[in-house]
Amino acid sequence: MLAGLLLLTGAAGATALLIWLQRDRRYHSSDSVAAAYDAWTDDQLLERLWGDHVHLGHYGNPPGSVDFRQAKEAFVHELVRWSGLDQLPRGSRVLDVGCGIGGSARILARDYGLDVLGVSISPAQIRRATELTPAGLSCRFEVMDALNLQLPDRQFDAVWTVEAGPHMPDKQRFADELLRVLRPGGCLAAADWNRRAPKDGAMNSTERWVMRQLLNQWAHPEFASISGFRANLEASPHQRGLISTGDWTLATLPSWFDSIAEGLRRPWAVLGLGPKAVLQGLRETPTLLLMHWAFATGLMQFGVFRLSR
């Protein structure tokens, strides 16, 4: 596997791969997650390449040829429809947990007339989300820990969270907080990177190595399985409805290669940030390739979760 990566990326890639193997970005605490996202936001590389959305895209069923940034926006609309947020009255209050730089929050406010509060543990993300949000749009942003939301019970008509769960060391606490702030009869829309459930097969030695990299490279303490996080939601004392799940792995799978290809499609987006950004882009490439491999082989799955009223 390592030899294949070296052939693919060449001498520059070999340099980046050595940095990748030696750099410690493991999860240590919520501070390590905040520091990672502060760095990714401040260096501007992800925003230059991917636009407003850090999350994966939705390419349809079956997946088709879709522009990467359009696929990311399509993902938001697909999750809105699948979860029932499109049935909420205009002005309904929505909490976006792990809001990134506010791409989803702005779509929810602009296209669906919702009143959105986005929260992230990263001060840099909250600053940038605020900068990117036009005056008059009904969404605002605050620094907040998803495992200790400084918000009253039952305050929101919907809770939205995309790809935040892998950073949570306590999955049950995360599920409890999502449901605690949701009013009775409200909507939950959650989407996450999930590991294969242990009951569906133990990891072999290659899978264990890949899993260790997926955790350590991007400050993840652990991945939940789809069935495992569903059980967390169902076990919450705040759960008031039927939890449904779906597997969007195939619809989102092209995102991983597209994440790399954007550097070729938009070379000046990277080159304009200087040599350090080029090296940083190469440094992230092995993890993106491993993510594609993991999702393509079934080691990982893309799970979606909703609360039926």
pLDDT band of 18, cuts 50, 70, 90? low
pLDDT tens figures, 88-121: 999 999 999 999 999 999 999 999 999 999 999 9
Tell me what pLDDT residue 14 has.
55
Tell me what pLDDT residue 124 has.
96
The identity of residue 9, as a single letter, is T
pLDDT tens figures, 189-233: 999 999 999 999 999 999 999 999 999 999 899 999 999 999 999
Residues in contact with 190: Cβ distance below 8 Å, sequence separation at least 6, in sequence order: 159, 160, 161, 162, 165, 178, 229, 304, 305, 306
Q: What percent of the chain has pLDDT over 90?
A: 74
pLDDT tens figures, 185-198: 999 999 999 999 99
Choose between 271 and 1: higher pLDDT.
271
Burial of 144 (0-12, 13-18, 19+ CB in 10 A): buried
Tell me what pLDDT residue 9 has.
46
pLDDT for 5 beyond 50: no
pLDDT tens figures, 121-143: 999 999 999 999 999 999 999 99
Choose between 280 and 125: higher pLDDT.
125
Question: In the chain, at which residue ranges do the beta strands (DSSP E only) sit?
Answer: 93-97, 115-120, 139-143, 156-162, 182-195, 242-247, 300-308
Flag whether the pTM goes above 0.85: yes
Arithmetic mean of pLDDT, 253-257: 97
pLDDT for 283 beyond 60: yes
Cα distance from N-terminal residue to C-terminal residue, the chain: 46
The region that residue 135 occupies, defined by phi over 0 for left and psi between -120 and 50 for alpha, beta otherwise, is beta
Q: Please name each of the domains of the chain with its CATH number.
A: 2-299 (3.40.50.150)
Tell me what pLDDT residue 185 has.
93
pLDDT for 277 beyond 90: no
